Copies of this chain bind each other. A is one copy, B any other.
Amino acid sequence: MKKSKKGSYDGKITLVDVALAAAVSPITVSRVINQPEKVSEAARLKVQKAIDELGYIPNQHASSLASSRSGVIGVAIPSLSNVVFTDVLRGIYKVMGAAGYKVLLVDTHYSPLEEEKMVRTLLSQSPEGLIITGGDQTPACDQLLRKSRIPLVQIMELLPNPIDMNIGFSHLLAGADVVAHLLAQGYQRIGFIGARMDPRVQQRIRGYTQALAKRDLFEANLIATSPEPSSIALGGALFKSLMAANEGRIDAVFCANDDLALGALFEAQRMNIAIPKQLAICGFNDIEAATYVNPSLTSVAVGRYEMGVKAAELIIQALNQQPIDNKQIDMGYVIKQRDSTHRQQ
């Protein structure tokens, strides 16, 4: 089962095998694959024929090693079971796929330590670019990334000290704006429901707290949170404890995401609380259900797919040595007002 110096059979067809079959040199085969325009029509056809007949598939590891170009972009996200990230991913895959890059995707489970481990994994694949979530890296991971000298985009939030490039929006401002919206609608006792408590949720809470405190409307028991992953079920449960902790004296709930908001909304319905008459509910992320649920759910919309696209484009620009006018991009957000927070009607 060994393979002799020149292309004897071992199951794996190599470039040398193709070269032998086509009666050309290996480098010509290489060129047919990578720079067909530099090869004569005749040679190209011969080689292509051999490739097809032998079912040759290039060995990307050998190619990467020889050229130090892996064609791989590493991506690290905190969770695979959250639309928020898969939407961004779709944008990344779209652009990277079209540009001929493969995406190596890792899941950090919201843990900086896991992230560090995963970044090592990614780096060992000699990625040409990296897209990671947020700015909550361990010091070691931060060092690793700074030393790596490849284009890097941190996504999902605006960072004070980006390692390289950064694209996202201000969760702090968004949180404060939601409060402003609710106040403008006449709601006063505004509760907050949050789960998983990642850095972005914490920023939303800060925005919420600051906005309320500024009007002297903040109280600690207005906040109900859980370290567990968000879910509709958890939203319902947190809503119940929020109401209990305030003896029902709550007239609006700001939920850290739409799953929690749906849970709160469904639970409120079961408790026969009229929305938005007795109680307003505002979500975050604007998932599709927000538009169609009854009553429709006010939520904060962000161009996640577009953020993925833009992040990928930034990487590609950097790889093509094109100038990048702005290393930090604010995607902004829009509060989509719907029935669930529409008091006067």
Q: Is the CB of B233 within 8 A of A288?
A: yes
The secondary-structure label for the interface of chain A is: helix
Within 8 A of B (CB), among A136-167: 143-144, 147, 149
Interchain nearest-CB distance for A95 vs B (Å)? 12
Q: Is the CB of B87 within 8 A of A81?
A: yes
Instruction: Identify the closest chain B residue to A52 (Cβ).
Output: B140
Within 8 A of B (CB), among A262-300: 262-263, 266-267, 269-270, 288-289, 291-294
Whether A25 is near chain B, meaning CB under 8 Å from some CB there, is no
Interchain nearest-CB distance for A301 vs B (Å)? 15
Q: Is the CB of A61 within 8 A of B55?
A: no
Oligomeric state, in copies: 2
A124 CB contact (under 8 Å) in B58, B93, B126, B144: B58
1/0 contact string of A231-268 vs chain B (CB within 8 Å): 11100100000000000000000000001001100110
Whether A64 is near chain B, meaning CB under 8 Å from some CB there, is yes
Interface hub of A126, A259, A270 (most chain B Cβ within 10 A): A126
Q: Is the CB of B57 within 8 A of A236?
A: no
A11-B149, A65-B65, A104-B102 known; A124 and B59 CB under 8 Å?
yes
A11-B149, A57-B124, A294-B269 known; A231 and B102 CB under 8 Å?
no
A266: B residues at CB distance < 8 A: 292-294
Can you report 17 residue pairs joining A to B where beta carbons are below 8 Å apart? A57-B123, A58-B124, A59-B126, A60-B125, A61-B62, A61-B125, A65-B65, A80-B89, A81-B90, A86-B86, A102-B121, A103-B105, A233-B292, A236-B292, A262-B289, A262-B292, A289-B289
User: What 13 new A-B contacts, CB under 8 Å, besides A57-B120, A80-B93, A269-B294?
Assistant: A11-B149, A55-B143, A61-B64, A61-B65, A81-B83, A83-B83, A102-B121, A102-B125, A103-B105, A231-B288, A232-B288, A262-B289, A262-B292
